[in-house]
A and B are shown apart, each in its own frame.
Chain A
Amino acid sequence: MNDVIQTFHESGAGALFPPLLHVPSWLPFVLAYLVGGGIIVAFMAIMALVWTYGERRIAGFIQVRLGPNRVGPLGILQPLADAIKLLAKEDIMPSAANWSLFTAAPILVFLGAMLPFAVLPFSERIVLTNMQLGLYFVLAFQAIEVIGILMAGWGPGSKWSLYGGMRLAAQMLSYEIPMGLCVLVVIFLAGSLNLGEIVAWQSQGPWILGWAIFRSPAAFVAFFMFYIAGLAGTKRAPFDLPEAESELVAGYHTEYSGLRFAFFFMSEYAAMYVVCALAAILFLGGWHGPIPRPALPENAAFFNAWLDAIHAQAGGGLSVAASLEVFAATLAGTAFSRLGLTIAAYEIVGVINMFLKAFGLYFVMIWVRWTLPRIRIDQVMYLCLKVLLPIGLVCATWAAIQVVVFP
């Protein structure tokens, strides 16, 4: 890294960036995290908002009617109207509510939906933190939602909320197990918990044949199982008994209104995205997709040097933060060069591939919701423990044997 900075100094462009090279060493870290985190939260919020519109439109189309089509052209501003409506609502708390639980519930649910975004990559280099334990991080922090839901069930002091909370706790916790088993299949096959490396492993075959689902029948079955378990974990239909309108009014979020309800609402759509993106990364090849990416020329020295410096820095942990200095320093030299543009195209196509798959799976989630009836809670548990769990065990065993016999 130092010789790059040396070259930069000698080129005379250092005069443009004097302050940046003399900052305390922790500042880039903090700035990078704040900026990156802010971008992630903004992306999550906008995506959730856009998909509320998308869901209503798709639902309308499936039901031979138009969805929202009045607010703005084709109803595009509907989420804005919804947001304003939710913010303008009165914040009601039932008198029998437990204040701390009532308030903490939406926060925890939102955290559980938002934290996995920290490790979720959008492309090879567009990721907030490329952790070695990325997959484990996602699964672990998704479980925080369960505590939030339990609090939301008991907090308002309403029988309907209690029913919803109890059902949901059983459902979400139980479906973590088949989800974990499906993920285990990919871990066996790919040999890593790092999401970037898993996608890199899937780029080995010609075009899309390197994807996990084409590499092993266990992965093929595990993909569908993961998707179903994900549907159940994010309480989407047909597993939406906890928020079953026709039975429990609104289940665990009956008593929430205004901004608190907005948190629940948004975190549901964000959690859906996490599941879809995870399925795309683990099984469908992530950003290595149908659209071929421009070949990166051999002398991509800037980025390789940058990556080497990063790995030398902190053992592969916190990438973006540590490299802000170098990035700014070398940006002037390479940003608008041909190399820089190729890298940008490489990443953008990767992002497009990723979004194609994640949003395609998102569409399928919505499609399934508006087609199937709701499954009863005891049948949900039957499905988990007696159908998905055995199949998951079979898949995991198969994958383990496959890795040993066909390395």
Chain B
Amino acid sequence: MKTAEKKNPVAQYFADIWAGIYTTYAGMKITIEYFFGKKVTMRYPEEKPVIPPGHRGVHVYDESKCTGCRACARACPVDCIGIDLLGRGRDVMLLQFDIDYARCLFCNLCAEACPFNALALSEKYNLACGSRGDCLRHFARPKSQEEMDEFKALLARKEAERKEAQAKKEAERKAREEAERKAREEAERNAQEQPEQ
């Protein structure tokens, strides 16, 4: 283990005094230069910082693109996305798309998971609110009872149409099969008759 060389104590004494004076002077020179220099304070809120694109702030949600696939909710490490919807597949009405900002990490995994680009994190960073309940933000447009009833009716109609189409297809298929069976029987009977001649 190396120690700094031990000087003659008297020389060390005067060297310390000189070092104290000189380093104080050098330090003070630097600080006085900054005293007269430019200051870096940004006078918020009159001057706001420039937020680069890609900053992970509050979410923006495009309801028209969302299909309720819940990929974002599954990707979230803290389970802060709450989704409730009517219907499935392409006919979907979002009843609830909540993000709990008391838990959100702003990690961007939800936006990366969305296959339809319905969710992204914007540059907005002002999130102060007055109570813990306000931390739960609702992104889906609230739907009135008539809208929901109308949508349920639409779903029911579509279901009925689908069933009807399915039944028709089934009937056609049966008819086609029947016709084929008849044709096959005809052919067999013809084939049987031929060798007899």
Task: Give me the interface of A with B, judged by CB distance under 8 Å.
Answer: 58, 60-66, 69, 367-368, 370-372, 386-387
Q: A221 CA to B111 CA in the complex, in Å?
A: 70
Known contacts A371-B27, A371-B28, A372-B24, A64 near B40 by CB under 8 Å: yes
What 1/0 flags go to B1-43 for Cβ under 8 Å of A? Answer: 0000000000001000100000010011011101111111101
**Sorted from nearest, which 10 A-B pairs have the closest CB atoms?**
A66-B41, A65-B41, A371-B31, A371-B27, A62-B31, A61-B35, A62-B35, A371-B28, A64-B40, A64-B34
Q: A371 CA to B28 CA in the complex, in Å?
A: 6
In the complex, the answer to whether A64 meets B24 with C-beta atoms within 8 Å is no
Task: Give me the interface of B with A, judged by CB distance under 8 Å.
Answer: 13, 17, 24, 27-28, 30-32, 34-41, 43
Q: Is the interface of B mostly helix, strand, loop or mixed?
A: helix
In the complex, the answer to whether B31 meets A370 with C-beta atoms within 8 Å is yes
Q: A165 CA to B36 CA in the complex, in Å?
A: 37
Query: Which residues of A lie under 8 Å from residue B27 when comparing CB positions?
Result: 371-372
Known contacts A64-B37, A64-B39, A371-B24, A387 near B17 by CB under 8 Å: yes
In the complex, the answer to whether A65 meets B28 with C-beta atoms within 8 Å is no
Partner of A62, one of B24, B34, B38: B34
Q: A58 CA to B28 CA in the complex, in Å?
A: 13
Known contacts A372-B27, A387-B17, A367 near B32 by CB under 8 Å: yes
- 14 additional contacts (CB under 8 A) given A61-B35, A63-B34, A65-B40: A58-B35, A61-B34, A62-B32, A64-B34, A66-B39, A66-B41, A367-B32, A368-B24, A368-B28, A371-B24, A371-B27, A372-B24, A386-B13, A387-B17
In the complex, the answer to whether A61 meets B39 with C-beta atoms within 8 Å is yes
Q: A386 CA to B30 CA in the complex, in Å?
A: 29
Query: Which residues of B lie under 8 Å from residue A367 when comparing CB positions?
Result: 28, 31-32, 35
Cβ distance A357 to chain B, nearest Cβ, rounded Å: 18
Q: List 6 A-B contacts (CB under 8 A).
A: A61-B35, A64-B37, A64-B39, A65-B40, A66-B41, A372-B27
Cβ distance B154 to chain A, nearest Cβ, rounded Å: 57
Q: Chain B: which residue is nearest A373 at the CB level? A: B27
Q: A66 CA to B34 CA in the complex, in Å?
A: 12
Query: Which residues of B lie under 8 Å from residue A58 when comparing CB positions?
Result: 35
Q: A60 CA to B17 CA in the complex, in Å?
A: 30
Query: Which residues of B lie under 8 Å from residue A65 when comparing CB positions?
Result: 39-41
Q: A370 CA to B34 CA in the complex, in Å?
A: 12
Query: Which residues of A lie under 8 Å from residue B31 when comparing CB positions?
Result: 62, 367, 370-371
Query: Which residues of A lie under 8 Å from residue B41 when comparing CB positions?
Result: 60, 65-66
Query: Which residues of A lie under 8 Å from residue B35 when comparing CB positions?
Result: 58, 61-62, 367
Which residue of B13, B17, B39, B43 has the most chain A CB atoms within 10 A of its CB atom? B39
Q: A371 CA to B31 CA in the complex, in Å?
A: 7
Q: A66 CA to B28 CA in the complex, in Å?
A: 19
Query: Which residues of B lie under 8 Å from residue A69 when comparing CB positions?
Result: 43
Q: A387 CA to B20 CA in the complex, in Å?
A: 11
Cβ distance A67 to chain B, nearest Cβ, rounded Å: 9
Query: Which residues of A lie under 8 Å from residue B34 when comparing CB positions?
Result: 61-64
Query: Which residues of B lie under 8 Å from residue A387 when comparing CB positions?
Result: 17
Q: A326 CA to B109 CA in the complex, in Å?
A: 88
Query: Which residues of A lie under 8 Å from residue B39 when comparing CB positions?
Result: 60-61, 64-66
Q: A296 CA to B32 CA in the complex, in Å?
A: 39
Q: A375 CA to B30 CA in the complex, in Å?
A: 20
Query: Which residues of A lie under 8 Å from residue B30 when comparing CB positions?
Result: 371
Query: Which residues of B lie under 8 Å from residue A60 when comparing CB positions?
Result: 39, 41
Query: Which residues of B lie under 8 Å from residue A63 when comparing CB positions?
Result: 34
Q: A368 CA to B36 CA in the complex, in Å?
A: 16
Q: Chain A: which residue is nearest B23 at the CB level? A: A372
Q: A75 CA to B67 CA in the complex, in Å?
A: 54
Query: Which residues of A lie under 8 Å from residue B43 when comparing CB positions?
Result: 66, 69
Cβ distance A214 to chain B, nearest Cβ, rounded Å: 20
Q: A368 CA to B29 CA in the complex, in Å?
A: 11
Q: A66 CA to B44 CA in the complex, in Å?
A: 12
Query: Which residues of A lie under 8 Å from residue B37 when comparing CB positions?
Result: 64
Query: Which residues of A lie under 8 Å from residue B40 when comparing CB positions?
Result: 64-65
